[in-house]
Amino acid sequence: QYVEAGRSPRESDVEVVATETVALAIPEGSPPAILVKNLYLSCDPYMRGRMTKHDTPSYIPDFTPGSVITGLGVSRVVESTHPDFIVGDLIWGITGWEEYTLLVSNLGSFFKIRYTDLPLSYYTGLLGMPGFTAYAGFSQVAQPKKGERVFVSSASGAVGQLVGQLAKRMDCYVVGSAGSDEKVDLLKNKFGFDEAFNYKQETDLDAALKRCLPEGIDIYFENVGGRMLDAVLPNMRAYGRIPVCGMISQLNLEKPDPVHNLFCLLIKQVRMQGFLVSEFYHLYREFEDEVVQLIREGKITYVEDVAEGLENAPAALVGLFSGRNVGKQLVVIARE
């Protein structure tokens, strides 16, 4: 069912339904199509926007109650009447939250998976949309320089963990915030962040930022918005950059949190820029080759939070908004 604006989604908003098995085949007379077996589904914060009914169309349609949820996932082609796909192809793109999906439109938006020896689940995260978001937002929007001071919020998540590691590769001083001590430990001891703090335990975010980044921040990779953004602004250094990737803390509020310190953008000459990953897909193959190489050399690591089975998908999805996930949240439907 629709989730009203101003409240967090609940597991009970999503229904898992068993249907009678129908003939699994592309219907005769169908336009060129593929039938896919869905393997891994991606839980992503942007899906919250699709749960509320909007009066004006957005860049991606609202979910329709009673219909199958759609989202990014990794799938295997089991039948094809489309010239670009053959049986056995592994692909990632927008599919259905179900075991098999018949795909007739938007087939040009799917990526074929070339590195099938790596964990296929990576194409929901590290090598999929979130990883590519980290790469595009950091390299293209933040335009980092060697040795800069970088702060990442929601740093242990699907996007944040890669931003931090890319920043370390540029010899930056990297600090992250996250919502539990377990996540802070991951940041420091698995992803190589120089410092990290649990924002839920800090009564004064400004003091936490000053403690971890006494010389200020050159790049703030913004994932959460609200009071974190407000605390960061006075700590920005001259000519800093704030790529605005997301504002997850604002998604379930009736009224957005006030931000008081925007004046700092002016006096510090800071560039704050929103971006959508969809604008950068022309760079995807370049990113994929680069990150695959780093994975093979053991220079990039990635943590996933894996829910087993469609029956556990609703909890996995809504858990994003309370920070239940540790690392990239995905759902396994089948492994091959």
Reported in sequence order, the residue ranges of the chain that DSSP labels E, i.e. its strands, are 34-42, 70-80, 90-96, 100-103, 111-112, 149-152, 173-178, 195-198, 217-221, 236-244, 271-274, 304-308, 328-332
> Smaller CB distance to ligand NDP: residue 140 or 180?
180
> Smaller CB distance to ligand NDP: residue 26 or 243?
243
> Smaller CB distance to ligand NDP: residue 44 or 230?
44
The DSSP annotation for 27-88 comes to: PTTPPS-EEEEEEEEE--TTHHHHTS--SS--SSPPP-TTSPPEEEEEEEEEEE-STT--TT
Taking the complex as a whole, how short is the minimal distance between the CB of residue 64 and ligand NDP, in angstroms?
22
State the angle between helix axes of 160-169 and 181-189 in degrees (0 to 180), rounded to the nearest 10.
30
* Binding-site ranges for ligand NDP (CB under 6 A): 44-46, 130, 133, 154, 157-160, 178-180, 183, 223-224, 245-246, 248-249, 275-277, 320-321, 323, 325, 328
Taking the complex as a whole, how short is the minimal distance between the CB of residue 235 and ligand NDP, in angstroms?
17
* Spatial separation of the C-alpha atoms in residues 81 and 131, rounded to whole Å: 31
Q: In 3D, which of 47, 222, 94 has the Cα closest to residue 151?
A: 222
Asked if 240 and 218 count as a contact pair (C-beta separation under 8 A), the reply is: yes
> Smaller CB distance to ligand NDP: residue 85 or 138?
138
Give the residue carrying structure tokens 């310190």.
Answer: 261
Taking the complex as a whole, how short is the minimal distance between the CB of residue 157 and ligand NDP, in angstroms?
2
Taking the complex as a whole, how short is the minimal distance between the CB of residue 230 and ligand NDP, in angstroms?
13
Taking the complex as a whole, how short is the minimal distance between the CB of residue 78 and ligand NDP, in angstroms?
29
> Smaller CB distance to ligand NDP: residue 26 or 332?
332
> Smaller CB distance to ligand NDP: residue 41 or 158?
158
Taking the complex as a whole, how short is the minimal distance between the CB of residue 34 and ligand NDP, in angstroms?
25
Give the CA dihedral 132, 51, 35, 84, nearest 10 degrees: -40
Give the residue carrying structure tokens 């005769």.
Answer: 28
